[in-house]
Chain A
C-alpha cells in the first residue's frame, strides 16, 4: 500500500496529466455522444420504419473492437496516430451506438395515456416531447448513459497500445519495467474514475427526476 502511495507521489505530475486526459476524453465523448444520440433515438421512436436500420447500424458499430477503431481512424480522418482526438471520436461512436437504442426504447416506453393527457391539457407536439416524453424517459436513458460512461473510462486505456498518453500509460510502464506497482495503481485510478462518473450521472438522474421520490414518499 505504501509502495503504491510512494509511486503516486513520485509520478504525481505525470499521473495528474494522464488523469486529466482520461477525464476529458471520457466526459467529452459521453456528452457529444448523448447530443447525437438524442435526436437519432427520437427519429427511431417517432418513425417506426427507421428503428430497425438505425438500431442495426448501431449494433454494427458496437461489434468493432476499440483498438481497431483507434488504429483505423487516423487514416480515415487524416489525424496523427498519437492524436487523442482519434480516441475521442471512437468513444463517441460507441456512446452513440449504445444510446440510440436506449433513447428510442425509452421514448417509446412512455405510456400513450400520459401523452394523451398532455395533449388534452393543451400541450403542442413539441411541448409534449420536451416537457413530458423526454423527462419521463430520463431514468432509462440515464441507465444507458451509466453503462456508456463506465465502459468509456475503461476503454480509453486500450489507446496506450497505439501510444496515446493517458492513464493506460501506467500499464505500459509496468510491463516495460516488470513491476506491479504502476499496473495496480492504474487499475485502481481507472476504476475510481469510472465509479466517479457513475456517481455523477446517478446524481444527475436523481436531480432531474424529483417526481420519482415524490411518488415513493406517498
Chain B
C-alpha cells in the first residue's frame, strides 16, 4: 500500500509543464504509457457498469412494476450516496484482499501476479456505486409511466411481462439512460481512486504516484494534472457517446423531442431524479 506522506509543495512545477508532458509521445505508448492505463480504466469501468446493469435493471423494473419494495430502493439509494467511496475501497482492500487466495494475474489487463485479490474488491466497490443511480432511475421511470398507457396495454390482453417489456421499459428508457450516465461518470471517477490499491494501475496511478514526487517536473505535478485531464476527457467522451446512444434507443414519441419544454421529473419521495451525483 502506498504511503501518502510527502512534503507540502510551495513551488509546484507550472501548469505549462502539463502540455509538455501530454505532448510527449513516450508518455502515451509503451507498457506503462497513458494508453495502457486508459485501457485498464475503461475495462474496469465497463465490467462494473455491465454487472450493475444486470443487477439493477431487473430489480428496478420489478419494483416499479409491482410497486413493492419502493421504500427499500429509496433508502438504499440515499444510504449508499452517503458512503465515502474512498473509505469503501480502502476497507475492502484491507479486509477482503488478504482473504482471497488467488495469485493469478489478469492477462492483458494487469500482468502483476497477485493482482486479482485487489481487483475483486475494487470491482465490488465500483458495482456497489454504479447500482443506485440505475436502480432508482429505473424504478422512477416505471413509476412515471402514464397509468392509462399501462391500463391500455393490459386491456389489449398483454401479460405482465409483456407490459414491462413493451410499454414500461420503453417509456422509462430516458430516465434509465440518465441513470446509466450517472453510473458511468461515477465509476470513471471512482476507478481513479482505485489506484490506491496495489498493482491495479488505471489512470489514477499517475495521481497517486505523482503525489509522492510532486515537485518532479516530469512525473510529479504535471503527470498528475495531465492524467487528470485524460480522466476528465474520458468522462466527457463517455457522457457524449451515451447521449448519442440515448437519442437512438429512445423512441422520439417518448423523448419529447417534438415538445417544447421538458417537465421536471421527480421521484415519489421528492428526490429530484436525474441530478444524481457524478463526481467522486
* A interface residues with partner B (beta carbon < 8 Å): 59-60, 62-69, 71-72, 74-76, 80-82, 94, 98, 101-102, 105-106, 108-109, 139-140, 143-144, 146-147, 150-151, 153-155, 157-158, 160-163, 168, 170-172, 174-176, 178-180, 183-184, 186-187, 190-191, 194-195, 198
**Interface segment out of the listed B48-56, B61-69, B138-146, B221-229:** B221-229
Cβ A183 vs Cβ B94 within 8 A: yes
Cβ B81 vs Cβ A151 within 8 A: yes
What are 28 residue pairs bridging A and B, where the CB atoms are less than 8 Å apart in the complex? Answer: A63-B278, A64-B232, A65-B188, A65-B235, A66-B189, A66-B279, A67-B192, A67-B207, A68-B192, A68-B228, A69-B279, A72-B225, A72-B228, A101-B275, A106-B264, A143-B266, A146-B271, A150-B82, A160-B4, A161-B193, A161-B196, A162-B207, A171-B86, A171-B90, A171-B91, A179-B94, A183-B91, A187-B87
**Interface segment out of the listed B8-16, B32-40, B154-162:** B8-16
Report the separation of the CA atoms of residues A188 and B28 in the bound assembly, to the nearest whole angstrom. 40
Report the separation of the CA atoms of residues A155 and B12 in the bound assembly, to the nearest whole angstrom. 24
Cβ A157 vs Cβ B84 within 8 A: yes
Chain B minimum-CB-distance residue to A64? B232
Cβ B239 vs Cβ A184 within 8 A: no
Cβ B84 vs Cβ A187 within 8 A: yes
Cβ B275 vs Cβ A144 within 8 A: yes
Report the separation of the CA atoms of residues A59 and B236 in the bound assembly, to the nearest whole angstrom. 10
Cβ B86 vs Cβ A65 within 8 A: no
Knowing that A65-B192, A161-B193 touch, tell me 10 more A-B residue pairs with CB under 8 angstroms: A63-B185, A64-B279, A65-B232, A67-B228, A109-B264, A147-B276, A157-B84, A158-B84, A168-B84, A180-B91
Query: Which among B10, B82, B232 is the interface contact of A194 at CB below 8 angstroms?
Result: B82
Cβ B81 vs Cβ A150 within 8 A: yes
Give residues of chain B (194-227) contacting chain A, Cβ–Cβ below 8 Å: 196, 204, 207-208, 211, 214, 221, 224-225
B280 contacts the other chain (Cβ, under 8 Å)? yes
Chain A minimum-CB-distance residue to B16? A75
B46 contacts the other chain (Cβ, under 8 Å)? no
Query: Which among B18, B87, B275 is the interface contact of A157 at CB below 8 angstroms?
Result: B87
